[in-house]
Structures are given as structure tokens and as C-alpha cells.
Homo-oligomer: A and B are copies of this chain.
């Protein structure tokens, strides 16, 4: 057992790997070279189109013990990962690791295949039932949760070798040129799949919208794609992207958004060149709405919006409030429609978005990011992976990446969620270190991290309700009572990897 700099006890080894304990957000230097893969040759006339998924798996050379990946742009509408695993099972392969960019509740269909030994573990975070069952000891399946930037890093450094990447390609030609912009399963940006296309040892494009002529715009080019396969449906379009993402109407959420906007205003960052990221949640969008108004009123021309993109950010681009959107993932249909036609709505790889081990990720240029939390501790450490029942229910996404990059990282969260206080002495799991978090905004006040002393003073001067984080914690506990501590066994079932490849926390089996 080892302990990292946040005092979190970690196993020395997990899932066949040596654990490097988390130290701090910025100082770990990469060692060695980029990962590589075999060279190949395709002559004129060589065909790539194969009859079905089974033939593609056979052609790919996938064997038991290897690792596959898919991307999660189709989110909870994705049919591909389930299809692929079913075929892998049909072929009798076992002990396959999954290194997808994320796994969603729809992939609970994989549970029988985990039990059967077809899947032996996840080199990525999971959303939903799989994580819950692993937390409860009902599934024996190690999980290493990675941030979006950290996943790109793990492929680029060779820490994770993807033997076969199956890339859901909403628009694809017979030679493998693809984009996500058009077709029945259009998802917009293919940002997470770029690294797979460049580093997987074999790349299979899977489409439900095949064309003969070269598909344009080309997001991933033919020169990276080994095989092409047609399937009936990549997924359920109703669940791939939402038709609308909505600003919260909840008065608590709206109060939080107003406070968050006041923090941004007080920070001095809201000037020409402002860059901004939010998620797609109702509070995030409410903050975006506030920011949009402030920018319009003060005639501020921002530089870029970044990360997962909503129609809300598309409006801001079209109103001239941003010059560019850098889009790693489209959150709604309006974003999908925009990225297919607007040269300033720019598709971006997860590597360029958030990988700490390249020549400079986009998150490094962020002025402000609005992030969520399931729990926050009095050192500003944030948990987004486990719920207060101890179950591993959520993937990290770009949370730690954007927090590390942005000049101002704001966590917006209600002080209470149901009967549970959000701010605690310690979080169940650390996802994002407090050192990269600047401000916590709740409906009952704002806590500012010590390293942001000037901002704190400015907020006090502006009579924004700044509170000590311990005070907020106590206020919450007065209402809910002290939260009942969850009891865990010693058995580690998952690791939370920080973006630089060190381990920031371990998830243990819940005692029930």
C-alpha cells in the first residue's frame, strides 16, 4: 500500500500495472517517446470494405487478451460497443479489455459478457450499472477511470495499447474517409476518436451511412483506416444527441448561476479575448446565459468556447461573442448542424483539447470553466466519480483537464442534493485536486480557494456572499445532519487516474 500527496491510500499494483501515486497537477514530466504502431501498405485497388463486423474482427487480427476501443460521441444511443462485444464472444475470444473514451448506461448489455470472461476490464471510466455492480462486488472487472485528456495521453504514451479501434462513423466512404456530421447517426465532432485513428494498431470504421465518393469534410482520413464495415444502425438517434439542452428553471440553480456570473465578472477575465467552457447541465447553461448578456452589454468579443459544445455556444459564435468554437463533442443537434457547415466551429481532438503531454492543450488557454461536482471537500478537492453511496457511477470527462488548464475554475453545485450535503470534510473519491479549483459557488454563498486571494477581496468588495468553506460545510450539515460514513472493504475495484497518469484515488468495494 502507498499513499499519494492527498493522503489517499493506493495499492502498489492494479490491473497488471504499477501505480504511480499522484503528486501535484503540473510537475510530472513525460519520459520517453510517443507510442508507435506497425507501418502498412495499401495499393491501388486493394479493398477495405468487408461484409460484416465479424469479418472485420477477423481481419483485424484481434485475439484473446487484447484491447479494443470505441468512442462515446453516440453516448447513451451507442449500439456499436454492444454489437462488437457480441461478435467477439461469437468468435470465442476472451479476456478483452475495453479502452473506449467512455461507457454509458446502454452498455449494461455487456454485463453478461463480463461475467462470461469475454471482457476482463475497463481501461476507461464507466457511467451506470457496470460501475455500481463493480462497487458492490457483483462484478469482478477492474476499471481505470481516465480523464478525456488522460485517455489521449495513455494512448499517445503507449501506456494503453489499443489493438483494434472500432470507430462509429456516421458518414463514411468505402475507403474510410469519415465525419460525424451527416447521416441518421450524426453526432457532430469525432474528437475522441482521432487518437484511436492515429495510435490503434488496427482501425475499423463502422458506418450506417456508406457512400462511394470521398466523404467531405474529412474528419478522419482514409490513410488511417484499415477496414470499413456497414451495419444497420450505429445507434438510436434519439439518444445520440439531445434535441435541446435547457437552462435550469430551478430557483436554486438560477441563484447559483447568478453568483457564478458575478464571480466571472469580478475576476477581470471578462474582456476582449475571453475564453470559456461549460458543460451541458442546466446550471452551466444558466451561467452561459448570464455571461452572454454581460458580453453583449459590454460589447466584449471573446476568443473561443471550448469542450463539449451546445447550441447555446453556437448562438454565441453566431452573435460574434466568440471567434471560434473548439468542439471535442457535440451536446445537441444544433451543435451537430453547425459543425458541419461553419469553418469557425472547429472539430478538435481529445489530444489537442486536454492531453497534458503535448506541446500545449486547448484547456491551457481557457480563462474560465464551469464544472459540476457530486461532492467537494474543505480542501476544494472534487468528486465526480462516485456518489455518496460509494458507487462508481460516473466517468470523469474533461473535469480535471479543464480545471488544471483554466485560469478560473468554478464549481457550481447546490449546497444540498436531496438529503445530502455537497461540501464535506472529505470526499468519497478525489477526482480533481483542490489545487486546480478556484471557487465553489452554491446558492448559499461562495467559497474561494486560498490561492485566489485577490479575487476573494474583490468579491467581498462587491458584496458577493463570500463564505468560508468550513462554514458552508457546517451550514449544510446543520440541515441534513452529519452524513453517514460509507463503509468500504479493503478491496480496490477501480482506480481514478489523474490526467498525467498518476493515481489520485482508489475506489473500494462497498460493505453492504
Contact = CB atoms under 8 A, between A and B. Distances in A.
Chain A interface mostly helix, strand, loop or mixed?
A: loop
A26 B46 CA distance: 11
Interface stretch (A87-95, A257-265, A343-351, A444-452): A343-351
A203 B326 contact: no
A33 interface: yes
B34 A360 contact: no
B214 A343 contact: no
Copy count, this protein chain: 2
Interface in A207-247: 212-214, 216-218, 221-226
A196 to B, nearest CB: 13
A99 interface: no
A115 to B, nearest CB: 36
Interface residues of A, number: 68
A406 B43 CA distance: 11
Contacts of A223: 349, 351-352, 355, 358-362
Contact of A344 (B156, B203, B216): B216
Nearest to A202: B359
A346 B293 CA distance: 36
Contacts of A32: 38-39
Contacts of A303: 212-214
A360 B48 contact: yes
A145 to B, nearest CB: 22
Interface in A14-35: 26, 28-35
Given A213-B273, A405-B44, A30 B39 contact: yes
25 contacts: A30-B39, A30-B40, A30-B41, A36-B36, A42-B361, A43-B364, A44-B365, A44-B404, A44-B405, A44-B406, A44-B407, A46-B364, A48-B360, A176-B359, A212-B303, A213-B304, A214-B304, A214-B326, A216-B323, A216-B343, A218-B348, A221-B348, A223-B359, A223-B361, A223-B362
3 A-B pairs with the lowest CB-CB distances in the bound complex, closest first: A30-B39, A42-B360, A213-B303
